[in-house]
Amino acid sequence: MFDPHKIREDFPILKRKINNYTLIYFDNAASSQKPRQVIEAIKDFYENHNSNVHRAVHTLSQEASELYERAHDEVADFIHADGMEEIIFVRGTTEAINLVAYSWGLRNLKKGDEVIVSLMEHHSNIVPWEILSKLNGFNIKYVGVSDDGTLNYEAYEELISEKTKIVCFSHVSNFSGVINDVKRIAKIAHDHGALILIDGAQSVPHLPTHVKDLDVDFLAFSGHKMLGPTGIGVLYGKCEILEKMEPFQGGGEMIREVLFDSITKRCTITWNDLPWKFEAGTPNICDGIGLMEAVRYLRRLGMENVQAHEYTLTEYAMKHMLECQKIEIYGPEDASAKCGIIPFNVEGFSSHDVALLLDNYGIMVRSGFHCTQPLHAIFKLKSSARASFYIYNTREEIDSFIEVLKEIE
């Protein structure tokens, strides 16, 4: 049975006091807290198995390699990929998107081609494509959002053409929490021969994710938003696409052999097998193992239960926030269309003032642009505060949050 009060016992930081108030952590869209099981897995690796992977035949290296490979396998299983060959460990969602941009986009996008990006995107799914377009000369077309913050699906039908090579968008908005219809857009893209890249930073930690059912070509997500350590993330890619891609970082691990040709005076290089050809140098071994433990934790809870719990919290919080006369909430009013994220402002206060006032009571929320300036511009907002929930949050915490908001009013 899903019991957030019992779950909280696994998170040491939630016992901390801020200004003599028990910590209430509502900044989960930025980064989640870590359970004791993940912390212990990291500690165990450094105390008992620490060694480089795929480098030696001694015991420690073999143990480290086995754990690191198993981490790829378990992440693949978590998102229903075909196998570890489709799972590339990176530093986070940002690096995963950049890997696609430079390893696939640099060689496949040319002048006259088109890339479709939504204005809902985190900057990390806008900036790489803008940078690359200046190098390769392709065009970027932007899809807008409706008044309630949902995607304009009709615009995809209007904008896409045979020139479109890739469509990039978020599964869940990190500003409004709106859940986008991935399968609908994937069909539009694939019917025109285009690939799709999904930013799953806000979806994989909160929703059951089945990459084959969604029919995504690339999926990027971060470990630190799903109970794992910082500095580790994942790029999923369909094996047949990854096989054709060239690596964009060179060095150790990503090669099978480097042979010097005495006639041409050049080296002939053969790439390593997937996924290692995209993991140049010594990888982030320990945090990969920490991510594996985070995945195990979430699987024990059941992602359907995670989603249901967050829906209950979001519905409850929105209902009581809307009772406050000076609070404005952005995005869909239907909590079932959202994923545990509530952006808001309090009349007469900046978002930073609201965040600081809440902090006085030990309540942590995000304030600012949330790396979505174009979307804030659409809503004509200078900034916003954002409350975001996860598995260890409770109704009692929301009651405390609402009480402070009423005091601010």
CA distance 216 to 170: 12
**Would you call 120 helix, strand, or coil by DSSP?**
coil
Domain CATH code at residue 145? 3.40.640.10
Position 361, amino acid:
Y
Mean pLDDT (10-residue bins), the chain, 409 residues? 95 97 98 98 98 96 98 98 98 98 97 97 97 97 92 95 98 97 97 98 98 98 98 98 95 93 92 96 97 98 98 97 94 93 97 97 97 93 97 98 92
Q: What is the CATH number of the domain that holds 350?
A: 3.90.1150.10
Instruction: Identify the domain boundary among 265, 299, 333.
Output: 299
**Per-residue confidence (pLDDT) for residue 170, from 0 to 100:** 98
What is this structure's pTM? 0.96
- The pLDDT of residue 77 is 98
- If asked whether residues 286 and 317 sit together in one domain, one would say no
Q: Report helix, strand or coil for 259.
A: strand
Q: Which amino acid is at 328?
A: E
Q: Assess whether 84 and 185 both reside in one domain.
A: yes
Domain shared by 286 and 387, yes or no: no
Just list the catalytic residues.
371
Looking at the structure of the chain, the number of domains it has is 2
Query: What is the radius of gyration, based on Cα positions, of the chain?
Result: 22
Residue partners of 279: CB distance under 8 A and separation at least 6: 88, 89, 253, 254
The whole-number pLDDT of residue 192 equals 97
Listed in sequence order, the residues at least 6 apart from 137 whose beta carbon sits closer than 8 Å to its beta carbon are 110, 111, 112
Per-residue pLDDT, 357: 97
Query: Which structural domain range is residue 330 located in?
Result: 4-30+302-408
pLDDT at position 196: 98
Q: Are residues 322 and 230 in the same domain?
A: no
CA angle 253, 259, 265 (to 5 degrees): 130
Confidence (pLDDT) at 148: 87
Q: Are residues 150 and 254 in the same domain?
A: yes
Query: Are residues 228 and 326 part of one domain?
Result: no
